[in-house]
Amino acid sequence: MSETPSDTPKTPEIYKCCENPQITYLAPVNINVDEKTIGTVDVWRCASCKKKFCEEKQLGIDSITDIVGMPRIGDDEKWGVIISKLQKGKDKWKLVRLKQNGIIKYETVDEKILDLKIEDYKIVDDYHSSFLIEDHLNRAVEI
Ligand SMILES: [Zn+2]
């Protein structure tokens, strides 16, 4: 099993973020556990409007095909990863959209919905933490 795909991923179906979308691959962020990559977030960017799009990939699982194009992100949101201290392996992380402040509804592996508090684009919680994708482009993050 190769850890880092050597080919640049193909441009996904154009996502209509603006009048003239020019979406290109920007960078990966690898998610590591014990120095092993267990997943990747692929980051794409529109050259016209500068919006970023992210795609979550669990290692060994093909890309999430039910999201055609990529999920929309609001102007007041940033891409982030929530890390759960209560889970292990692939269930330990999840790609989310974080607002600057407020509450995020977070669905756990056993389908419970938790209200997690966000302060300045960061989860503030005893059992969950987070980081922003834009701060870790081309890097691996140990979770
Ligand atoms: Zn655009």
What is the model's pLDDT at position 60?
A: 66
**Residues 51-63: tens digit of each pLDDT:** 898 988 877 655 5
Distance 13 CA to ligand 1 centre (A): 13
Distance 88 CA to ligand 1 centre (A): 36
Dihedral, 39, 7, 2, 135 alpha carbons, nearest 10: -30
Strands in 140-142's sheet, in edge-to-edge order, are: 52-58, 36-46, 23-33, 140-142
What is the model's pLDDT at position 132?
A: 97
Give the range among 44-53, 58-67, 76-85, 112-121 with minimum mean pLDDT. 58-67
Distance 20 CA to ligand 1 centre (A): 6
